[in-house]
């Protein structure tokens, strides 16, 4: 009772499967070689649990928001002057949570801006695209004691606001 040697009349099929396996292994080897520099960083991120932070650490706007996040306390309210269409407002709202977020247009006149700052008791003002032309006089030192320049980050210009110093009716 011996086993007969396997006879393979279709040796061509084995050759094609072998070629496909060799090409697949070559592709896997090339991918390992290509991504080897990021391998150590990936392992470190998986071990420390910082999986989603990689993209936020590379983008300048997110880096600026991280700087601002260290300064603004979690219970504070801030006004963010930005165009909603730019999409940066959503990222600021997400990354600066749980801070209270108020969005205003960048071309707002000083009276509505001051009124909103007083009504909402906002302690911080973040201006993403530079100073609004109409409010430039009030925000540049030493014109108004309610605004104190804090920092310039990649997220924008940050001011500390003292709403108690913004008194009276606001008219343009």
Where in the chain are the domains?
11-48, 60-165
Selected residue with higher pLDDT from 163 and 42: 163
Report CA 74 to chain centroid distance, whole Å. Answer: 17
Q: Does domain 60-165 bear CATH number 3.40.50?
A: no
pLDDT band at 90 (very low <50, low <70, confident <90, very high): confident
pTM, to two decimals: 0.65
**pLDDT score recorded for residue 54:** 58
Neighbours of 57 (CB within 10 A): 10
Three-state DSSP at 103 gives strand
Predicted confidence band at 75 (pLDDT cuts at 50, 70, 90)? very high
pLDDT(100) > 90: yes
């Amino acid at each position: 009772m011996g086993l007969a040697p396997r006879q393979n009349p279709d040796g061509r099929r084995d050759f094609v499967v072998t070629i496909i396996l060799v090409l697949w292994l070559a592709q896997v080897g090339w991918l390992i070689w290509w991504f080897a520099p990021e391998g150590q960083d990936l392992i470190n991120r998986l071990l420390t649990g910082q999986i989603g932070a990689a993209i936020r650490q590379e983008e300048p706007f997110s880096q600026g928001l991280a700087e601002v996040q260290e300064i603004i306390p979690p219970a504070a309210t801030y006004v963010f002057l930005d165009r909603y269409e730019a999409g940066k407002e959503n990222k600021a709202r997400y990354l600066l949570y749980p801070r209270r977020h108020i969005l205003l247009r960048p071309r707002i006149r000083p009276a509505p801006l001051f009124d909103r700052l007083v009504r909402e008791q906002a302690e911080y003002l973040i201006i993403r695209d530079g100073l609004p032309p109409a409010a430039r006089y009030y925000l540049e030192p030493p014109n108004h004691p309610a605004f104190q320049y804090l920092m310039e980050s990649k997220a924008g210009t940050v001011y500390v606001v003292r709403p108690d110093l913004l008194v009276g009716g606001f008219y343009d």
